[in-house]
Amino acid sequence: MKKSKLLKIVSVLLVLSLFVSVLAACGDTTAPASTPANDTSSTAADSTPVESEPTDTGTDEEPYKITMAIIGNEQPNQDKVWQAVNDLMLEEINMTFEPILLSFGDYQEQLRMMLSAGDELDVLPIFYDQASSYINSGQIVDLADYIYDYGQDILNYMGEDIATSGAVNGFIYGIPANKESNTRSGIVMRKDIIDEIGVDVSTLKSPRDLTAVFEQAKAAHPEMDMISGSRVITTEIVDPLFDWFGVLMDYGQDTTVTNYFESKEYKDRADLTKEWYDAGYVKLDAATTTETNANLVKAGSLFSYMAPIKPGYLIQENINCGTEMVTAYLGDLDGGYQESLWTSSVNFFDWGIAQQSKDKVKAMEFLNYAYNSPEWNNLMNFGIEGEDYVPVEGSDVLIDYPEGKGIGDAYHMNMGWMYPNQMIGKIWNGNPEDLWDQYTEFNKGAVLSKAFGFIYDSSSVATELTALNSVRTEFMASIETGSVPDVDQAIKDFNDKLYAAGLQKVIDLKQEQLDAWLAAQ
């Protein structure tokens, strides 16, 4: 009898303890549930609370905490660097700093989650193709209300035209990161093979010139793929007006919105790619491969790929590919080319303020500071001087790893193009000392698209865009890698489906808004 009673009590206790532990587990999980899937990337940020010590500041005001979403990989020495950023900001603008590190793989989903859940967030990166949807769902703030009062330094530094160019219907969603904007496409090839087959790279002007190169290289290395990528030919000859659904032909000089996928240019490119695919030059799995081109080169299976090329590009690519590469700028199929700039190339990447920011004025003041502080940009990009980098002897601007350190030992975010203003910061060794001047020249050398500064408001065609995006993923990679059995048929099917999905409505909308915008200029 006694034994069974004891058993009963024990069993009730067990059940109770199970219940409590389940509840406890619930309690644990509800807190981060607002930002699920954060565990891979932002745990680092979460676990490194940057202490705020509001003591030795000039004012009596409580420091404001800036929460900033950034994109990149976790770095060694990260906590210390961010603490240093925090200290710097506390001293200079009486704010503390809480970065949230998002990974490249899923930052879009993460940002959406944070915006939707109302997580603490002040400043966020905005890629141009996201702006319209952020605005439509009221997730970001119109900077027009703040930039003129609290962002004077940005206006002075960048010029009002550029600083306020990230706007849709007058809604300024962000300030462009100050970087090289005009990236011209070209071919990146393995130098040893080019030397072996004896090609003069400077003679390469058009993608058509590559056929002969591939022929020789393939003969010398039949086991290798000549070229890969989900879009094989990447040189741009039109202003894509953000999403390619209705473009401006002739580098944006023609103000009639047309369907690029129906153009002769598009077909010529598709035919050339198909020719390469059939000749065995294009990687057979190019349309579905998830491996980066640089990694394929590193693995020894790929000879070349096309990419946007900017000053200093080779330094970066030689590292990524693990072997010496050569580049050549390429133009369109006739060999002609015009340097050009369109809105999406300048406003490719902007910094904006989240709707849930507790103090939007402070957030704007922070941006104003971040666009103008070399110390801030250097710290975020390269870490602490003496620990993560040292100046190169005999140069004011060049820096390099300290003695005995290398990739993986020191903080080296190396994402200058993402931070508000890399062009007031240091330059990594191997680049020319006048890199920033080259960038400026590079930007200046371009012709502006007629629609430069124009961003269309897509809210009324959200349904159509959803269907169009789906059609584009269906056809774009397979046509532009040459994997389709019949190019003409594929292009025809592609366009039929685009029109069925409402392409004409989007084109008309763009044309209407563009005409109104041009008239107002």
Closer to other proteins at the Cβ: 179 or 283? Answer: 283
Q: Which is nearer to other proteins, 167 or 309 (CB)?
A: 167
The pair of three-digit structure tokens given for residue 389, joined into one six-digit string: 């980098």
Judged by CB, which is closer to other proteins: 133, or 258?
133
State the minimum distance, in angstroms, from the CB of residue 379 to other proteins. Answer: 32
Nearer to other proteins, 325 or 484 (CB): 484
Indicate the residue among 78 and 132 with the shorter CB distance to other proteins.
132
Radius of gyration of the chain (CA): 26
Q: In angstroms, what is the minimal distance from the CB of 151 to other proteins?
A: 21
What's the closest the beta carbon of residue 143 comes to other proteins, in angstroms? Answer: 14
Question: How many other CB atoms are found less than 10 A from the CB of residue 159?
Answer: 11
What 3-state class would DSSP assign to 412?
Answer: coil
CB of 487 to other proteins, least distance (A): 13
Q: Which of 191, 183, 234 lies closest to 213 in space, CA to CA?
A: 191
- For residue 464, give the H/E element and its range: helix 462-480
Q: Rounded to an integer, what distance in angstroms lies between the CA atom of residue 267 and that of residue 262?
A: 7
> In angstroms, rounded to a whole number, what is the distance separating the alpha carbons of residues 116 and 466?
20
CB nearer other proteins, residue 179 or residue 505: 505
User: How is residue 201 written in tokens?
Assistant: 């790279």
Q: How far is the CB of 12 from other proteins (least distance, A)?
A: 6
Q: Smallest distance from the beta carbon of 474 to other proteins, in angstroms?
A: 4
In whole angstroms, the minimum distance from the beta carbon of 287 to other proteins comes to 6
**Dist. CA 202–CA 512, nearest whole Å:** 43
Give the binding site for other proteins (CB under 8 A). 11-12, 15-16, 18-19, 22-23, 26, 108, 112, 115-116, 118, 129-130, 133, 136-139, 225, 283-285, 287-288, 290, 355-356, 462-467, 469-471, 473-478, 483-485, 497, 500-502
Q: Got the DSSP string for 349-366?
A: EEEEEBTT-S-HHHHHHH
Residue 251 or residue 456: which is nearer to other proteins going by CB? 456
- Phi and psi at 304, nearest 5°, equal -155, 165
Name which of 128, 164, 160, 517 is nearest 345 in CA terms: 128
Q: How far is the CB of 182 from other proteins (least distance, A)?
A: 24
Quick one: 448 or 467, whose CB is closer to other proteins?
A: 467
- Contacts of 487-492 spanning 24+ positions with Cβ under 8 A: 487/267, 487/270, 487/271, 487/274, 488/267, 490/270, 491/261, 491/262, 491/266, 491/267, 491/270
From the number of C-beta atoms within 10 Å of its C-beta (0-12, 13-18, 19+), residue 382 rates as buried
Q: With 0-12 CB in 10 A as exposed, 13-18 as middle and 19+ as buried, what is 345?
A: buried
* Residue placing its CB nearer to other proteins in the complex, 40 or 470: 470
Cβ 446 to other proteins shortest distance, Å: 27
Name which of 80 and 221 has its Cβ closer to other proteins.
Answer: 221
**Please, what is the minimum distance in Å from the beta carbon of residue 483 to other proteins?**
5
Cα 73–Cα 77–Cα 82 angle in degrees, nearest 5? 80
User: How far is the C-alpha of 209 from the C-alpha of 384, rounded, in Å?
Assistant: 46
